[in-house]
A = this chain, B = another copy of it.
């Protein structure tokens, strides 16, 4: 069966976003440090429609994160905005041609018609929970894997429910001291982890884990 895989940048003190996230500051204060390692990579720039860029040890991980991926699930907080959509609904951070180029399913409390963007990206809004979103993503992925994009809250929900199969952490050597932690609210989770890949790269350490459900 297709796997649910999470690829997420995380600061050494566990934060995956800084404090005070907003439309102006989607990753929160200091959160831009999460992705500095990626922004200069050719493997990041190409799907974002940009030329040039570096090739280094992170390239392999970045390419692997897109390999065999057929759909994406993300939380409403990562898609952006809050509350009901309103008359001029927020359309994501990514402009007319988002970098996903595949179906994206957004877990939200607020119903909304699907949105079709350029380049193969569709946004579908799922209001009946994380399992329903995963099921729809799995149908859309046609046997390929599903990428879980965050944010912290929805990643915690999938992890805690035992639905996540693999986790690729990009560990950034920064102590931010505040924000949203990936590994919070997991008190009763029965999660087994095996580290399957360790890779050192400029400004980041990539750790991959296979996830099992403990008895």
Contact = CB atoms under 8 A, between A and B. Distances in A.
9 contacts: A14-B14, A159-B175, A171-B207, A173-B209, A175-B189, A177-B186, A177-B188, A195-B200, A198-B205
A205 B177 CA distance: 23
Contacts of A186: 13, 175, 177
A187 B177 contact: yes
Number of copies: 2
B173 A193 contact: yes
A159 B13 CA distance: 13
A207 to B, nearest CB: 6
Task: Give the contact-size bracket for chain A.
Answer: 20 to 34
Interface in A168-204: 171, 173-175, 177-178, 181, 183, 186-189, 191, 193-195, 198-200
A161 interface: no
A12 interface: yes
Interface string A1-36: 000000000001110000000000000000000000
Interface string A113-143: 0000000000000000000000000000000
